Amino acid sequence: MNNRVVFAALAASLLGMSACSKPPQSDIGLVDVQRITSNWPKFLNYQNQLNSDVAAIRSSRASDNDKTRELQGLQARFATNQTELTNNVRDAANQVASDKHLRFVFTRQFVGYGGVDITSDVEKILQVVEKATPAP
């Protein structure tokens, strides 16, 4: 969590500096990670499996020590999955940044304005299909 705060502060300061010295064409790319994770089947499958496994462990008749040990194993698996997913998004964002000649890529969540939104390009690489919003 502290890395997010540092990352957000860095992103804000870099965007502030770039707003003062850059022409309208930005060399900063932005990725909406929330949009990606809400539509990415790989992420959703990992999340559903983790939730299912946690529920199964908690409802099992195993001893508290066994449940604790199993939950710790799940935490390790979660960390591995999280690293894999993060690397997938990072690699896709790096590829788009290289193709579009962007110097920096930040997450949309920490940037108020500026930059070029490359989320749809990252989604194409990750094979994410955005779900249609139901009509009211």
Q: Mind listing the pLDDT tens digit for each residue in 63-79?
A: 999 999 999 999 999 99
If you ran DSSP here, which 8-state letter would residue 127 be given?
Answer: T
For the full predicted model, state whether its pTM sits above 0.75.
no
For residue range 89-116, list pLDDT tens digits in order.
999 999 999 999 999 999 988 787 888 9
Q: How far is CA 63 from the centre of its chain?
A: 35
Other CB atoms within a 10 A radius of the CB of residue 108 amount to 18
What the chain holds in terms of domains, given with CATH numbers, is 2-126 (3.30.910.20)
